[in-house]
Structure 1
């Protein structure tokens, strides 16, 4: 039976500690991560901040980041491809080696919130012991089984959760719709494109968490050294 654990990891124990200290208003949401063997992690991270120039300058000096590239720019957020290096890989590779995956990961100035899917309790215990042996500090805030579990936000970020609920309440999902995507975006004071991307990511997280969780790891994916 699959086991889901929610972990709170201090920013000092994970990625982008220096960047988040320099730009404390930044909010991060991991979209996807590829693992290049034992060498590095390559995540795609959505970033929301009022200081993108300062954020990118801090990234360039962050010891947990190799190269980085902005691959998408929206009105209020940007998507970055980053090479995570150094001690960050210890926690993530412990998860990968246990045949587990990350359903969601969000970061702020003081901690990262990780939602992990393990094949069973033994895999969770293995990762726990590995991290303790490596002196990686974290707090397990919740553990529950897939069967009969309450899922709380079903793998959604708080922002995605609020948006989907409001979409239902305002009639966006009615047939026919009671308001258009543009009208919905205007009510939320975001761009049409930003809302479309948020809904798409929310729908994907719902499907991964509610329909296919436990079948195929989806938060992290192994790729060959040639990048394929």
Structure 2
């Protein structure tokens, strides 16, 4: 049974710790892509001069080339040295698939899919053996029924789960929108949009059976 696991990894045990020392307010995420090489890095929350000074001083970065500068952030093609690339090999050695990797405040939040929990456990043990303090935050087993009936995207599911667990829906709220966005490593606007779209999907799913009954009469 396929398994989704969410890890929390310190940058000091993996990559870009020195970059966060220079630019602690930065949010860094891997670009979603299909490629034989390590994807580029989207960086926001910091100006170009500051982040490039951090990347230049970072021993886990061999080179960084700016590809795109937009409202979404700065996209860099980053070349990592062999010892830094070994971290990614540890994650993927047991056939795991990297779904998302995002870093803020010196910590990486990583979502991966494994064929089963045994592969997840082997990956976790390997990370610990190599000195990576990998903290498994959440594990979800995927079934065909779950996959077939869920219309929420992984990002929407993550946002809703985090909002529920952190008390965002409680009265009074246990966490603000800004704080929750910081926990997820995304902007306030991005979180608001994810929650809005998730609400629309859930409401549509809830009302659709009633509408079908009405239309069938």
Give me the TM-score of the superposition, normalised by structure 1.
0.64
Q: Which residue of 2 aligns with 1:210?
A: none
Q: Which residue of 2 aligns with 1:9?
A: 9
Q: Could you report, residue by residue, the CA deviation over 1:127-156 in whole angstroms, capped at 9, with x for unpaired residues?
A: 112112112111000011012488986146
Question: Which residue of 64, 67, 72 maps to 2:63?
Answer: 67
Label 1:152 to 1:75 Cα distance change in 2 as closer, same or farther (>3 A). Answer: closer
Question: 2:98 is paired with a residue of what secondary structure?
Answer: strand
Q: Could you report, residue by residue, the CA deviation over 1:185-228 in whole angstroms, capped at 9, with x for unpaired residues?
A: xxxxxxxxxxxxxxxxxxxxxxxxxxxxxxxxxxxxxxxxxxxx
- Asked if the contact 2:43–2:73 (Cα under 8 Å) also holds between the matched residues in 1, the reply is yes
Q: Which residue of 2 aligns with 1:133?
A: 129
Which structure is higher in RCO with an 8 Å CA cutoff and minimum separation 6?
1
Q: Which residue of 1 aligns with 2:74?
A: 78
Question: Which residue of 131, 141, 144 maps to 2:140?
Answer: 144
- Asked if the contact 2:2–2:114 (Cα under 8 Å) also holds between the matched residues in 1, the reply is yes
- Asked if the contact 1:4–1:146 (Cα under 8 Å) also holds between the matched residues in 2, the reply is yes
Higher helix share: 2
Label 1:132 to 1:50 Cα distance change in 2 as closer, same or farther (>3 A). Answer: closer
**Where in structure 1 are there 5+ consecutive unaligned residues?**
171-228
C-alpha separation in 1, matches of 2:88 and 2:151: 22
C-alpha separation in 1, matches of 2:93 and 2:199: 42
- Asked if the contact 2:61–2:81 (Cα under 8 Å) also holds between the matched residues in 1, the reply is yes
Question: 1:89 is paired with a residue of what secondary structure?
Answer: helix
**Where in structure 2 are there 5+ consecutive unaligned residues?**
160-183, 201-217
Label 1:78 to 1:124 Cα distance change in 2 as closer, same or farther (>3 A). Answer: same
Question: Which residue of 47, 51, 54 maps to 1:55?
Answer: 51
Q: Which residue of 2 aligns with 1:163?
A: 193
Runs (4+) of structure 1 moved beyond 6 Å? 33-36, 149-153
Q: Which residue of 2 aligns with 1:89?
A: 85
Q: CA RMSD in A?
A: 3.0
- Asked if the contact 2:124–2:134 (Cα under 8 Å) also holds between the matched residues in 1, the reply is no
Question: 2:38 is paired with a residue of what secondary structure?
Answer: strand
Question: 1:65 is paired with a residue of what secondary structure?
Answer: coil
Stretch deviating more after TM superposition (76-85 or 151-160): 151-160
- Asked if the contact 1:14–1:87 (Cα under 8 Å) also holds between the matched residues in 2, the reply is no
Q: Which has the larger radius of gyration?
A: 2
Q: Could you report, residue by residue, the CA deviation over 1:162-185 in whole angstroms, capped at 9, with x for unpaired residues?
A: 324446879xxxxxxxxxxxxxxx
- Asked if the contact 1:47–1:79 (Cα under 8 Å) also holds between the matched residues in 2, the reply is yes
How many pairs were matched up?
A: 167
C-alpha separation in 2, matches of 1:151 and 1:99: 26
C-alpha separation in 1, matches of 2:73 and 2:35: 24
